[in-house]
């Protein structure tokens, strides 16, 4: 049985870069920035116990920041995940104006800034990847997912 490890991951100040990649983490598409996401419990036993659910991405950091309130900051869950599934994405332009909604089957946060020593600042996502297929083990996804879980 797995237990949830309470870790909240926030975007970095100025916006976390979000890149469309292939299963090996190589860029294949667009680059965005995000300043806000919310979370939900996983809906199947994949990835981490809590997944990023809604995320606002902008064509620029300023666009992402201007539209960040399109996703409410949910404080009821203590984590947003390094490995998520089925994200609902709100894409905005550089001024924060709506462009489109789309879904991302797989997301990975491969790099984080650790939490502050005093615990006042949670870990922050240095980058996030969007992918249309499962991530290859070469990306380190299995180790990242294991960090989300503990074996009882």
> pLDDT tens digit string along 116-137?
898 788 889 999 999 999 999 9
Supply the range of the domain harboring residue 63: 14-135
Question: CB burial class (10 A; 0-12, 13-18, 19+) of residue 60?
Answer: middle
In a domain, 8, yes or no: no
Residue 59 lies in a domain: yes
Report yes or no on 145 lying in a domain.
Answer: no
Q: Are the CB atoms for 107 and 84 separated by under 8 Å?
A: yes
Q: pLDDT per residue over 70-100, tens digit each?
A: 988 766 565 568 899 999 999 999 999 999 9
Q: Is the residue at 140 inside a domain?
A: no
Domain count for the chain, please give it. 1
Residue 76 lies in a domain: yes
Nearest to 66 by CA among 92, 89, 90: 92
Query: Is 142 within the bounds of a domain?
Result: no
pLDDT exceeds cutoff 70 at 3:
no
């Amino acid at each position: 049985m797995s237990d949830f490890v309470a870790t909240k991951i926030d975007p970095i100040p100025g916006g976390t870069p979000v890149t469309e990649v292939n299963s090996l983490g190589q860029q294949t598409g667009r680059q965005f920035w995000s300043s806000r996401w919310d979370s939900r419990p996983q809906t199947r036993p994949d990835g981490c116990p809590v997944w990023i659910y809604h995320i606002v991405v902008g064509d620029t950091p300023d666009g992402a920041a201007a539209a960040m309130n399109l996703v409410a900051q949910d404080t009821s869950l203590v984590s947003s995940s390094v490995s998520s599934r089925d994200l609902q994405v709100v894409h905005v332009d550089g001024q924060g104006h709506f462009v489109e909604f789309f879904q991302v089957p797989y997301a990975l946060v491969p790099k984080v800034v650790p939490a502050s020593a005093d615990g006042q600042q949670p870990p922050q996502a240095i980058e996030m990847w969007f992918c249309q297929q499962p991530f290859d083990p070469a990306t380190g996804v299995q180790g990242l997912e294991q960090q989300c879980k503990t074996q009882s």
